[in-house]
Structure 1
Amino acid sequence: MREYKILFSVLLLLILSNLASAQTITVDNSKTPTQLVQELITTGSCVQPTNISINGYDFGGGEKSFAWFDSNGSGFPLEKGLLISTGRASSAIGPNTSLLSEGPSSWPGDTDLERAINETNTINATVVEFDFVAVTNYVSFNYIFSSEQYLSNPGSNQCNYSDGFAFLLKENGSPSNQNLAVVPGTTIPVKVTTVRGSGTICPAANAQYFDAFNGSNHPTNFNGQTKVMNAEADIIPGRSYHIKMVIADQGNNLYDSAIFIGGNSFNNDYAMGDDRLIADGNPLCPGETLTVTPDYIVPGTLNYTWLKDGIPIPGYTNVSSPTYTINAAGVYTLVADIGTCTVRGYIQVEYAPITANNTSLSQCDINNDGIATFNLNDAVSVVTGGNSAMTVQGFYRTISEAQNQQNMITTPQAYQNTAGNTVVARVKNGFNCVAYATITLQVNSSVVLNPIPTVEVCDYDTDAQDGFNQFNLTNITQQITNNNTLPSGALIQYFASSADALNLTNPLPNPYSNTTAFQQNIYARVINTTACYEILQITLKVNSFSSNLQDENVPICSGNSIILDVGSGYSSYSWNTNPVETTQSITVLQSGNYSVTVTNSEGCSATKTYFVTTSGPPTITSIEATSFSGAANSITVYVTGSGSYEYSLNNVNYQSSAIFTGVYPGEYTVYVRDKNGCGMDTETAYILDYPRFFTPNGDGYNDTWKIKNLDIYYPNSQLYIFDRYGKLLKEISASGEGWNGTFNNTALPSDDYWFTLTLSNGRIIKGHFSMKR
């Protein structure tokens, strides 16, 4: 309610401070307590202070702890007023070049202050007191709290110290006080610790009410101060009140503080309601009115006068009604003439700006039926003027529907003008103010475009013929341009759907890869400011080969020929022969790489390469048999030849390896053949091993013990048989009949017997076998 006066004073005096920044406040010690208090009261006010007293400390020579101050053009935010301090009042004069810690420890504190702000041990108190009779139901005044305890570079142990002050108001006869020196909207007493800015190690608190940490070039000699603050209270008209303004040091007499109370600011005026300001978040909306009237009428009021920005409002001078309806921004003052005095009320009003610009959208009529599809969201930036504080709440078909928020258009991105060629946008700002903008929908007839043939490409981009490929849209643009007469500078864009083309959303990249295999439609939109063109459908087709044209390895037998046939069904063939052959197949006589390029009926070409390698029959040069090794018996075959060979011991099961392992004793035919059918060679091989037992029982089966085929590989070998005691029982030749289990024609018993075999290559093999009868 009084903020406009604070704001006006701050702005005015900040201007003055730029002109006289080197000046300081002045202090007048000559005024009496009565004069000091009376000059606090607003000029013409109906308030008459009585029982005035000011108690502080007399430093002698006319110097006291209280005095009248004047800003002296220095830029100090309050122009003049009463200064009360915990030290010498005149020491408050700037610049801020010394630390004020004045006043003796014998100078007492104030118990009322201690109770009000919950502190103890106060000293150096200065107290201003007076009574007044309330004329209205509201009282207020301005003040600044300054203190040496606002340190710009404090230590951590200095963050919790603060002198205390209070403005204690009570109805006379009442035992309780109300402290008006509180953080706005709270009951927290204003102190260094509760109103402090950031920038030091001490935590900030309610920083919006803190002015500054002062440098040396300051109008006062204090380290910092609050902004101009407003002490206010609701009171009962006709009642007598007592106010006590008190400040004191807390704990000791160090680091003085002061209260600057604005002269001519003590008001017992009308309460007119809260200011309606953008900064407070409660401005009026454009077109909105505010009817104001004081919530109390002073008996005996003669007339009322309303002023706007200090100028009387025509028709509202000396009227009988205190009510006024505000419809424009400004500072409004109500002056009530009581006869011997005046009572005033104040309110400041601001209007929140809102942007809602009318605009138009144009769209092409793709079939010339007068109906087009519009993206209403395209109008938002123009409607709101690009102001991010403005939002479009929705689009409606009529202003009535927009005002009542009925039947909002649910798909503004695809709106057809079937219900008319205008829509209304409902716009809201950050203060919930609403305005409306009309959007005119312009439907433009479309020029019919000549179509172009299906755009065909061959599937060259992957090994698999999957029907996907890239299309050069620049080439398509050239075809459209060649088929149509377009204005200079016309731009053609491409889209995956006609809806995207209509709304100019999601244009396709260039080059573009189709997303539907083999065939897909896309849509071209000619963008031009002088004409509207229909959306042109374009068919994309990917041609590919249905046959498999994978490269192939082909063998050829030495001295033979082979036919390479790529298959029928192609419109042309071209072989890399010399001279070039153009037939479906060719006959080749030697190895090499033969490539053929074929072209199908759709004009797509592909190349296949035959890797022809020569192959020939094998020749077995030797066979190595590993015998007398049990499960480790093996056959290794050695061959020569130019082919790729495989091996077998039975001409049925073939293997790529020339080594056979785990071969049982016996006679084998070794087969070696060319994998490509270019010939075969064979040879006999033997695996030797001794029997593990024999049964000489005369049944004609396994009656003798001998090593088969020993005479073939080792005809000169020597074989000796022993009993368990090492007695030689038989010497057998490689070609002999073997041993029948007798010694000196006497049948020996069933038992284990031992042998020693010495081969012609010097190898000695020893083992044992069983005889079972």
Structure 2
Amino acid sequence: MREYKIHFSALFILLLSLSASAQTISVDNSKTPTQLVQELFAGGSCVVPTNITITGYDFGGGEKSFASFDSNGSGFPLQKGLLISTGRASSAIGPNSSLLSEGPSSWPGDNDLEMAINENNTINATIVEFDFVAVTNYMSFNYIFSSEQYLSNPSSNQCNYSDGFAFLLNEIGSPANQNLAVVPGTNIPVKVTTVRGSGTVCPAANAQYFDAFNGSNHPTNFNGQTRVMNAEADIIPGRSYHIKMVIADQGNNLYDSAIFIGGNSFNNDYAMGDDRLIADGNPLCPGETLTVTPDYTVPGTLSYSWLKDGAPIPGYTNVSSPTYTINAAGVYTLMADVGSCTVYGYINVEYAPVTANDTNLTECDDNNDAIATFDLTDAVPAITGGNPEMTIQGYYRNLTNAQNQQNAITNPQSYQNTLGNTVIARVENDFGCVDYADITLQVTNSIALNPIAPVKVCDYDAEQDGLYEFDLNAITQLIRNTNTLPAGTVIQYFASQQDAQNFVNALTSPYPNTTPNQQIIYARIANSCSEILPITLTVTAFSSNLQDESVPICNEQSITLDPGSGFNSYSWNTTPVQTSQTITVSQSGNYSVTVTNADGCSVTKTYFVTTSEPPTITGIDTNSFSGIANSITVYVSGSGTYEYSLNDVIYQTSNVFTGVYPGEYTVYVRDIYGCGDDFETTYVLDYPRFFTPNGDGYNDVWKIKNLDTNYPNSRLFIFNRYGKLLKQISSENDGWDGTLENNTLPSDDYWFTLTFENGRIIKGHFSLKR
């Protein structure tokens, strides 16, 4: 088999696609069948096609079911070549925006195709035929199968439809046909049902050879396509062969399909043996060589030349031998000059890397005899670099044994270095390639550890529960500062000594102690040797509950701030800093003191000192003649915090008194911190709602009390219900006794008008009851 042509073509087209500017392929209907077939052969080929015919359907106007195509910079995987279709060749031009079902029902199918792919009822066949004389014993060409039947969202009843095609080869004179359009390594014909990707309701088949379900933005107007496939066959040099390439719809003329055959890809060249590729599972191993020579040589060959990756190999140009020994990865080409033409051979070679890394293993010598027990399998990750494709095939005491695979170490998981401190690991990759790694065995001695002082913290929580979250990383640093530890030493913590010894249930940081006030945990300090160090964790309570406090002082006075006794030290935030238990201050501000107890625990208390001064009443507003809405509002000046009272009885923080009864009041204002007070008399006026002039000494006169005091210049007029003026009363008058000109007036409602000096007028009515 010659697989290189597929890989090289795909790489070549990929490079072309990177510079693509157009979006679709182009199609040329103007070429003759002879021109179309000749373009399948490379220039200088030793094979010349003869008896060329192409039959298909002529749609008129120059439109046929066959034509040449060009990728046109669109990224289509084949650069150019021959296109044969079950519809118009020109309809293959993208984008994929319409469903192609173009051939008429009168356009026949092909019997040879039906026999080759075991189908029937074919229709709309396009056929390419030609003859050639074999020069070598191998031939091949590249193609892509595209079809509208590659539906990205089919229904289940559409999964079994498939147009068919075949590439039929037979030696002229022989009735037997060989179909070259098959799934590689099988005799399964390539079609929609045998090469299909996953992702739809239809089952996938040989998906590694399927390219894609095409979206609307595609260089062709087909719904899907295969990858670039390779049709190949072994043939007999000097014999004449006939090629028939045929494609047809199956069952009906719906859902067209096409074959794109690569230009310059028809080759009758040397078979050089299988490519040696990682993907194929047969690469070469590092240091391995491969001698290649064609299994057939053309008689009369003048000379041979070898190329690697397209460049001539020095010393192997125009030589007499076709044999070459490969010792490096690359694509190798053999060119045979047979005079009038050139015959080629190709082989692609890859090397499977296998790199075993030398490494060290270190174990602890617990009795200082320089002997320790090693688990050699611990070296696997370092040797293989974590590469799952590499495995250790055995451990040996020397390289010779490893190379000959003899005298392997039988106890690699419990190996003692009694016979030396070097072990050889034999490493193989998935392809049987071998490398070797040195494992150096190092023995270390245990070290004596210096203990660290108990780790003390202060419990500042309100609960004072003796619990705290300890920073184990900080403890690790304490251990390192107290001890000289080898590089790579790992420190972990455990709640019990047994857990530390068994290396289970490691603690994480931060660690909340589970035993209040004091608990011992265990540090496991390990490199190759492991030591266990007890660590005492102590949580000290701060017994005094010092809370921030607001403190007032009166103007021009001072106060002593005292957090209390029993602390080891005090530090005030004054300038300069004071360290006494108490300080005396006379100005407002925030004064903080940090106190420290005997366990070194500290807490800070802040005094918020504010100054205060006596109040001064600056005004009183009374709302009179409003019944239950009567009120008194007091206005003061001063920087203190004040409270207010009527008649020095009940104090309130509001300066407004509501629901005040008529009468005389002494308004008191005082500083809540005792820095002074002030008072002033005021009156709330209102008129009586009734009076009873019956001579019993109670309510015999209707009068507005304190009117002369607050409003000496006011005037008061009393009327009956008909608006007759009955009485005019001055503010100093004793009121109205319910008579008019010494005549007693009856029980009734009466009205009044009160006019103040500022023009304000209050009107109302009251009842006279007998």
Q: Are the structure 2 counterparts of residues 528 and 186 from structure 1 closer, same or farther at C-alpha, using a change threshold of 3 Å?
A: closer
Cα distance in 2 between the residues matched to 1:490 and 1:40:
67
Where does residue 249 of structure 1 map in the other structure? 249
- Cα offset for 1:370? 3.4
- Cα offset for 1:372? 2.8
Name the TM-score, length of structure 1 as normaliser. Answer: 0.59
Cα distance in 1 between the residues matched to 2:253 and 2:506:
82
Where does residue 575 of structure 1 map in the other structure? none
Work out whether residues 183 and 189 of structure 1, in 8 Å CA contact, stay in contact via their aligned partners in 2: yes
Question: What CA deviation, in whole Å up to 9, does each residue of 1:186-226 have, x standing for no partner?
Answer: 11111111111112211111111111111121111111111
| Pair 1:386-2:386 in alignment | yes
Where do 1:160-171 residues align within 5 Å?
160-171=160-171
Stretches of structure 1 that go unaligned for 5 or more consecutive residues are 453-473, 512-522, 539-773
Q: Are the structure 2 counterparts of residues 486 and 19 from structure 1 closer, same or farther at C-alpha, using a change threshold of 3 Å?
A: closer
Where does residue 345 of structure 1 map in the other structure? 345
Where does residue 422 of structure 1 map in the other structure? 422
Name the TM-score, length of structure 2 as normaliser. Answer: 0.60
Where does residue 24 of structure 1 map in the other structure? 24
Work out whether residues 494 and 508 of structure 1, in 8 Å CA contact, stay in contact via their aligned partners in 2: no
SS at match of 1:124: strand
Where does residue 503 of structure 2 map in the other structure? 507
Where do 1:462-611 residues align within 5 Å?
487=485, 506-507=502-503, 527=526
Cα distance in 2 between the residues matched to 1:325 and 1:240:
33
The answer to which of 169-178 and 214-223 deviates more is: 214-223
SS at match of 1:10: helix
Where does residue 294 of structure 2 map in the other structure? 294
Cα distance in 2 between the residues matched to 1:96 and 1:490:
62
- Cα offset for 1:394? 1.8
SS at match of 2:9: helix
Q: Are the structure 2 counterparts of residues 52 and 411 from structure 1 closer, same or farther at C-alpha, using a change threshold of 3 Å?
A: same
- Cα offset for 1:108? 1.6
Q: Are the structure 2 counterparts of residues 363 and 87 from structure 1 closer, same or farther at C-alpha, using a change threshold of 3 Å?
A: same
Cα distance in 2 between the residues matched to 1:111 and 1:434:
55
Question: What CA deviation, in whole Å up to 9, does each residue of 1:706-736 have, x standing for no partner?
Answer: xxxxxxxxxxxxxxxxxxxxxxxxxxxxxxx
Work out whether residues 451 and 536 of structure 1, in 8 Å CA contact, stay in contact via their aligned partners in 2: no
- Cα offset for 1:155? 2.1
* Residue type at the aligned position of 2:4: Y
Cα distance in 1 between the residues matched to 2:117 and 2:13:
32
Q: Are the structure 2 counterparts of residues 26 and 413 from structure 1 closer, same or farther at C-alpha, using a change threshold of 3 Å?
A: same
* Residue type at the aligned position of 1:146: S
Where do 1:16-55 residues align within 5 Å?
16-17=16-17, 19-20=19-20, 23-55=23-55
Where does residue 124 of structure 1 map in the other structure? 124
The answer to which of 9-18 and 82-91 deviates more is: 9-18
* Residue type at the aligned position of 1:343: V
Where does residue 57 of structure 2 map in the other structure? 57
Cα distance in 2 between the residues matched to 1:206 and 1:536:
60
Q: Are the structure 2 counterparts of residues 487 and 46 from structure 1 closer, same or farther at C-alpha, using a change threshold of 3 Å?
A: closer
Work out whether residues 396 and 409 of structure 1, in 8 Å CA contact, stay in contact via their aligned partners in 2: yes
Question: What CA deviation, in whole Å up to 9, does each residue of 1:509-550 have, x standing for no partner?
Answer: 689xxxxxxxxxxx9986359xxx7x8899xxxxxxxxxxxx
- Cα offset for 1:420? 1.7
Work out whether residues 402 and 425 of structure 2, in 8 Å CA contact, stay in contact via their aligned partners in 1: yes
Question: What CA deviation, in whole Å up to 9, does each residue of 1:218-238 have, x standing for no partner?
Answer: 111111111110000011111
Where does residue 138 of structure 1 map in the other structure? 138
Where does residue 357 of structure 2 map in the other structure? 357
Where does residue 108 of structure 1 map in the other structure? 108
Where does residue 467 of structure 1 map in the other structure? none
SS at match of 2:413: helix
Where does residue 94 of structure 2 map in the other structure? 94
Work out whether residues 213 and 223 of structure 1, in 8 Å CA contact, stay in contact via their aligned partners in 2: yes
- Cα offset for 1:413? 2.3
* Residue type at the aligned position of 1:267: N
Work out whether residues 492 and 506 of structure 2, in 8 Å CA contact, stay in contact via their aligned partners in 1: no
Question: What CA deviation, in whole Å up to 9, does each residue of 1:629-671 have, x standing for no partner?
Answer: xxxxxxxxxxxxxxxxxxxxxxxxxxxxxxxxxxxxxxxxxxx
Cα distance in 2 between the residues matched to 1:510 and 1:350:
48
Where does residue 438 of structure 2 map in the other structure? 438
Where do 1:147-226 residues align within 5 Å?
147-226=147-226
* Residue type at the aligned position of 1:290: L
- Cα offset for 1:299? 0.9
Question: What CA deviation, in whole Å up to 9, does each residue of 1:62-93 have, x standing for no partner?
Answer: 22111111110011110000111111111111
Work out whether residues 525 and 532 of structure 2, in 8 Å CA contact, stay in contact via their aligned partners in 1: no
Cα distance in 1 between the residues matched to 2:492 and 2:39:
81
Work out whether residues 391 and 427 of structure 1, in 8 Å CA contact, stay in contact via their aligned partners in 2: yes
Question: What CA deviation, in whole Å up to 9, does each residue of 1:580-628 have, x standing for no partner?
Answer: xxxxxxxxxxxxxxxxxxxxxxxxxxxxxxxxxxxxxxxxxxxxxxxxx
Q: Are the structure 2 counterparts of residues 490 and 355 from structure 1 closer, same or farther at C-alpha, using a change threshold of 3 Å?
A: closer
Cα distance in 1 between the residues matched to 2:289 and 2:389:
22
* Residue type at the aligned position of 2:503: P
Work out whether residues 22 and 217 of structure 1, in 8 Å CA contact, stay in contact via their aligned partners in 2: no
Q: How many residues align?
A: 492
Q: Are the structure 2 counterparts of residues 447 and 278 from structure 1 closer, same or farther at C-alpha, using a change threshold of 3 Å?
A: closer
Work out whether residues 15 and 75 of structure 1, in 8 Å CA contact, stay in contact via their aligned partners in 2: no
Q: Are the structure 2 counterparts of residues 447 and 247 from structure 1 closer, same or farther at C-alpha, using a change threshold of 3 Å?
A: closer
Cα distance in 2 between the residues matched to 1:138 and 1:345:
10
Where do 1:315-334 residues align within 5 Å?
315-334=315-334
- Cα offset for 1:448? 7.1
Q: Are the structure 2 counterparts of residues 259 and 419 from structure 1 closer, same or farther at C-alpha, using a change threshold of 3 Å?
A: same
- Cα offset for 1:113? 1.0
* Residue type at the aligned position of 2:42: T
Q: Are the structure 2 counterparts of residues 360 and 170 from structure 1 closer, same or farther at C-alpha, using a change threshold of 3 Å?
A: same
Work out whether residues 2 and 274 of structure 2, in 8 Å CA contact, stay in contact via their aligned partners in 1: no
Q: Are the structure 2 counterparts of residues 486 and 221 from structure 1 closer, same or farther at C-alpha, using a change threshold of 3 Å?
A: closer
Cα distance in 2 between the residues matched to 1:31 and 1:494:
81
Work out whether residues 365 and 443 of structure 1, in 8 Å CA contact, stay in contact via their aligned partners in 2: yes
- Cα offset for 1:163? 1.2
Cα distance in 1 between the residues matched to 2:450 and 2:68:
93
- Cα offset for 1:371? 2.8
Cα distance in 1 between the residues matched to 2:355 and 2:487:
35
Work out whether residues 163 and 257 of structure 2, in 8 Å CA contact, stay in contact via their aligned partners in 1: yes
Stretches of structure 2 that go unaligned for 5 or more consecutive residues are 452-471, 508-521, 534-770
Where does residue 310 of structure 1 map in the other structure? 310
Work out whether residues 289 and 326 of structure 2, in 8 Å CA contact, stay in contact via their aligned partners in 1: yes
Q: What is the root-mean-square deviation in Å for CA atoms of aligned residues?
A: 3.3
- Cα offset for 1:355? 2.4
* Residue type at the aligned position of 2:251: G
Work out whether residues 450 and 483 of structure 2, in 8 Å CA contact, stay in contact via their aligned partners in 1: no
Where do 1:676-755 residues align within 5 Å?
none
Question: What CA deviation, in whole Å up to 9, does each residue of 1:315-347 have, x standing for no partner?
Answer: 111111111111111111111111111111111
Cα distance in 2 between the residues matched to 1:268 and 1:247:
23
The answer to which of 126-135 and 284-293 deviates more is: 284-293
Work out whether residues 449 and 483 of structure 2, in 8 Å CA contact, stay in contact via their aligned partners in 1: no
| Pair 1:409-2:405 in alignment | no
Where does residue 654 of structure 2 map in the other structure? none
Cα distance in 2 between the residues matched to 1:38 and 1:488:
77
Q: Are the structure 2 counterparts of residues 176 and 447 from structure 1 closer, same or farther at C-alpha, using a change threshold of 3 Å?
A: closer
| Pair 1:236-2:236 in alignment | yes
Question: What CA deviation, in whole Å up to 9, does each residue of 1:104-150 have, x standing for no partner?
Answer: 22222111111111122222111111111111110000001111111
Work out whether residues 47 and 134 of structure 2, in 8 Å CA contact, stay in contact via their aligned partners in 1: yes
- Cα offset for 1:485? 7.2
* Residue type at the aligned position of 1:201: V
SS at match of 1:53: strand
Work out whether residues 490 and 526 of structure 1, in 8 Å CA contact, stay in contact via their aligned partners in 2: no
Where does residue 4 of structure 2 map in the other structure? 4
* Residue type at the aligned position of 2:201: I
Where does residue 77 of structure 1 map in the other structure? 77
- Cα offset for 1:508? 6.2
* Residue type at the aligned position of 1:289: T
| Pair 1:67-2:54 in alignment | no
